[in-house]
Amino acid sequence: MLDALLPLLKAVVVVPLTLLPIINPPSVAPVFVATVGSDETVVARLARQVAINAFFVVAGSLLIGTYVLEFFGISLPIVRIGGGLLVASAGWRMLHSRDDDDEVRSAAVQQTTALSYEALQRKSFYPLTFPLMTGPGTIAASIALGAQIPDSPILYLAHATTAVVGAALTAAVIYLSNRHAGGMLGRLGPLGTLVMMRLAAFILLCMGLDILWTGWLELNAVPRSL
């Protein structure tokens, strides 16, 4: 019995172990805090919503990502190029944000407490869920993991269930990281937070360019049909 369950248990662990280094939730903590602010109610609501969004993005990419790309005729290199542009542009905007934006951001955070559930969902998806948390690298890796699920109905059901559990574990780590992002950054102090935010912005810019370049190389490596 244990020998039969061991591969499934490994499959559950493979999803977070593969995706979390790509997502790297602590590196997004400065972005989350800068976007959300310090209101505990808003932080809790958005952290929960971002985790839910991330779960559906990862689970959807695992289970149907391959079929969606095939249906629209989109290749993974194109997904990498488009997502890399989004990540790079987000990092560029953060890198050149001014201190004057703090007042505007504070006012926006105060208004967020009165947002409806639908408005909160829209705010939490871009850019917090995509492309910062579950960007093109995460989606591409999830699709690659999903492509390994067997076609046999019974095996597909078993492996799909483990994939969903793995996606839930990944979302739980994202939630905990965002929920306690303010506390982590509070230990750094204002100067340390500023340095970490600028560093995170530069890393995002480099990540976006790296994703874009990887997609470009993959696109040129594939023979094009006439």
Of 58, 37, 56, whose CA–CA distance to 46 is shortest?
37
Indicate whether this model's pTM tops 0.85.
no
Distance CA 87, CA 205 (A): 7
How far, in Å, are 76, 140, 213, 223 from residue 220 at the CA level? 12, 18, 11, 7
Distance CA 138, CA 141 (A): 5
Number of residues in the chain: 226
Q: Tokens 């004057």 identify what position?
A: 100
pLDDT of residue 117: 55
Longest Cα–Cα distance of the chain, Å, equals 62
Per-residue pLDDT of the chain (226 residues; tens, 9 = 90+): 555 566 667 778 888 888 887 787 877 887 788 777 777 888 888 999 999 999 999 999 999 988 888 888 887 778 778 777 876 776 787 777 655 444 434 444 444 444 555 666 677 888 788 878 888 778 888 887 887 777 788 878 888 899 999 999 999 999 999 999 888 777 777 777 677 677 767 876 887 788 788 888 888 886 655 4
pLDDT of residue 50: 93
Distance CA 45, CA 26 (A): 18
